[in-house]
A and B are shown apart, each in its own frame.
Chain A
Amino acid sequence: MGINKKSIFVFAEQVDNRITSVVFELLGKARELSEKLNAVVVAVLPGYQIAELPKDLYAYGAHKVLISDHQALREYRTEPYTQVIAEMIRQYEPQIVLFGATSIGRDLAPRVAARIHTGLTADCTGLRVEDERLRFLMTRPAFGGNLMATIVCPDHQPAMATVRPGVMVKRLPEPDAMGELIPFEIDLTENHLFTKILETVREEGSKKLDIQDADILVAGGRGMKSAKGFEILRDLADVLGGEVASSRAAVDAGWQEKAIQVGQTGKTVRPNLYIACGISGAIQHLAGMEESDFIVAINSDPTAPIFNVADVGIVGDVFKIVPKLTEAIRKERTN
């Protein structure tokens, strides 16, 4: 029992005892890295009454699950989670530790990195192991997405990274996959570093389908002119079975919610189909959607940069083309 070879840790973030989607993406990536490094993939799972969760972690690629089931870990708080993860790292000495770049991961990872004195690379969009020297290379956008930087952590262990949700690819789940469960006991006595949770409030409107889970996205930008302008995009999304997304310009203008914003300061998406309507294609936006399988851009400005990443670009008026397209698709679907 235990971990007696090199390992890659994946922080198995859960909220309300549901594993956050990015964890499965990280497990897929960790499995790929583990083959080259001859390492085991260990999902590290802090929480309370979480006995049901390891099976999904095995299904998506974890060889082992290091579980810490403790009442103090029921809801995320920085200090008890930091204590658990730091202690697990000290005890098992993994080579690599991966976190989702979620609002929990981006809070926890730096605290852990500072405590165990190691490097942390934020918001990675690429992770790989070199062929010969086997260095672990972390790639991330810098300067608002204008540059890509490749970063190593040569003299400290483990190398730690937070990874943008929606970038890495999940493995096909193997529901019958089995792994080894390793319980991890820890004393979590409250000290001055503990914060108190006075209240937790789920916010309305946030329970809609996450744009990161949608296979088809119809996105609008400044060219949609108003909140009302987005209605034709909703119609198109509905007939395609997709969701509506937004550029930053339309969010800043108050036409759409931040939750559906795509881009450097919003979400990264990689749907099968991304239809960009009235979006000029600022680099900040492209950073969040250019990995989509098939990109259609509709814009009246033939010089808009969005056409540089589009598989199909239509130069024209969105308010004329989109309703006709919706109608044509509806016709196709009923035939």
Chain B
Amino acid sequence: MNIIVCIKQVPDTKEVRIDPVKGTLIRQGVPSIMNPDDKAALEAALRIKDGMGAKVIALSMGPLQADAVLREAMAMGADEGILVSDPQFGGADTWATSATLAAAITKLEYDLVLAGRQAIDGDTAQVGPEIAEHLGIPHISYAKELRIEGDEVIVKRQFEDRYQLLSAKMPVLVTALSELNQPRYMTPRGIFEAYREKQVTHWQRNDIPVESENIGLKGSPTRVIETNPKVMKAPGTKIEEDVEKSVQYLIEKLKEKYIL
């Protein structure tokens, strides 16, 4: 059983702050982390490995510093880490990213591809399903439970007001919700191996069997033409009074707005 887990290194968006004067994003000092949903996908793969044996390959596309999340994945228990990194892949939208990752995956043997549902810096939830389409395999997204039965994957797939229990014949791609599990910590032995003994495999442009018109900014159907800090509306009235006066003021306001 071979499992590929797609992992993205992301800025911890909870730590991103807005410069109150310039209104721009302060990226400095924002830590880079393994995307939380991806970590759940990795944990799911490692549990399958623990239970029935499997080879787990962590795969990432990004700049060279994304090496760190692959080392972390190996320290948690992944057998190999592969980083797809080349300036020519830069500026890719979800279509080009998924085309590149899918092409990288075709070089590997796999029964199961796991990915997080979405990354916290983009929140698109698109790359997983798009990889599956490029590979010509089925996908199941929003997994909150997952198990293997014979040559099938059984997934509890979450919707707003219900869940479905779905099965699909492998190979299949599944995207994981953070609720899927509680990821393990790195072990001291794992850290030692990941940083001292194992290597992250680096694949560049020429290692990936993908057409040039499908990669990077050029291969991206969408273009970001503008980014703006969010415009906040002007603050209203703030009052600091005793309870009675505050309540009375509110009642008047609600009447003014015809709510009362």
A interface list, Cβ under 8 A from B:
15, 75, 77-79, 102-104, 106-107, 109-111, 113-115, 117-123, 137, 141-156, 192-203, 206-207, 216, 240, 259, 264, 272-273, 283, 286-287, 290, 293-296, 302, 307-317, 320-321, 324-325, 328-329, 332-333
| Chain B contact residues, CB within 8 Å of chain A | 11, 13-14, 16, 18, 25, 93-95, 98, 120-130, 132-134, 136-142, 154, 158-169, 220-233, 235-241, 243-244, 246-251, 253-255, 257, 259-260
Can you name 21 A-B pairs with beta carbons within 8 Å?
A103-B142, A104-B159, A110-B129, A110-B130, A113-B126, A147-B228, A150-B228, A153-B223, A195-B167, A197-B165, A201-B163, A203-B161, A207-B161, A273-B259, A294-B257, A315-B239, A316-B240, A316-B243, A320-B243, A324-B244, A329-B254
The answer to whether B222 and A151 touch across the interface, beta carbons within 8 angstroms, is yes
Contact A194/B230 with A156-B221, A200-B162, A316-B243 known, Cβ cut-off 8 Å: no
B227, A118: Cβ atoms closer than 8 Å: no
The answer to whether A198 and B16 have CB atoms under 8 Å apart is no
Query: Closest chain A residue to B27 by CB distance?
Result: A143
A109 neighbours in B (Cβ, 8 Å): 126
Q: Are A203 and B162 in contact (CB under 8 A)?
A: yes
Contact A106 B141 (CB under 8 A): yes
Q: Which residue of B lies closest to A161 (CB)?
A: B222
- The complex places the Cα of A303 from the Cα of B220 at a distance, in Å, of 43
Cβ-defined contact, A201 with B13, below 8 A: no
Partner of B257, one of A147, A196, A273: A273
CB proximity of A44 to chain B, nearest CB, Å: 19
Q: B121 touches which one: A115, A143, A156, A309 (CB < 8 A)?
A: A143
Residues of B within 8 A of A148 (CB): 227-231
* Cα distance, A103 to B228, chains bound together (Å): 27
8 smallest CB-CB distances across A and B, nearest first, come from: A119-B221, A144-B13, A114-B133, A119-B222, A122-B124, A311-B236, A313-B238, A110-B126
Chain B residues within an 8 Å CB radius of A302: 238, 240
B227–A198 touching, CB < 8 Å: no
Question: CB within 8 A of A147: which of B230, B233, B241, B260?
Answer: B230
Contact of A196 among B93, B166, B228, B249 (CB under 8 A): B166
* Cβ 8 A contact of B160, one of A103, A146, A154: A103
A203 to B156, CA, bound (A): 13
Nearest CB of chain A from residue B78's CB, rounded to whole Å: 25
Q: Hey, which chain A residues are within 8 Å of B137, CB to CB?
A: 192-193
* Docked complex Cα distance between A103 and B156 (Å): 14
Assembly CA distance A113 to B158 (angstroms):
22
B247 with A194: CB separation less than 8 A: no
Please report the C-alpha to C-alpha distance between residue A314 and residue B13 in the assembled complex, in whole angstroms: 29
Contacting residues, chain B, for A315 (C-beta < 8 A): 238-240
B221 to A150, Cβ gap below 8 A? no
Give the Cβ gap from A243 to chain B, nearest Cβ, in Å: 15
A-chain residues with CB within 8 Å of residue B223 when the two chains form the complex: 151-154
Kindly list chain A residues whose C-beta atoms are within 8 Å of the C-beta of B162. Answer: 200-203, 206
Residues from chain A with a CB closer than 8 A to the CB of B134 are 114
Report chain B residues within 8 Å CB of A320: 243
The answer for the CA separation of A293 and B161 in the assembled complex, in Å, is 27
Residue of A nearest to B126 (CB): A110
Give the distance to chain B from A224, nearest Cβ to Cβ, in Å.
17
User: B98: nearest residue on chain A (CB-CB)?
Assistant: A114
Closest chain B residue to A109, Cβ basis: B126
Q: Is the CB of B227 within 8 A of A313?
A: no
- With A150-B225, A195-B138, A333-B260 as contacts: A142 and B159 at CB distance below 8 Å: no
B218 vs chain A, min Cβ distance (A): 10
Q: How far is the CB of B122 from chain A (nearest CB, A)?
A: 7
A77 to B247, CA, bound (A): 51
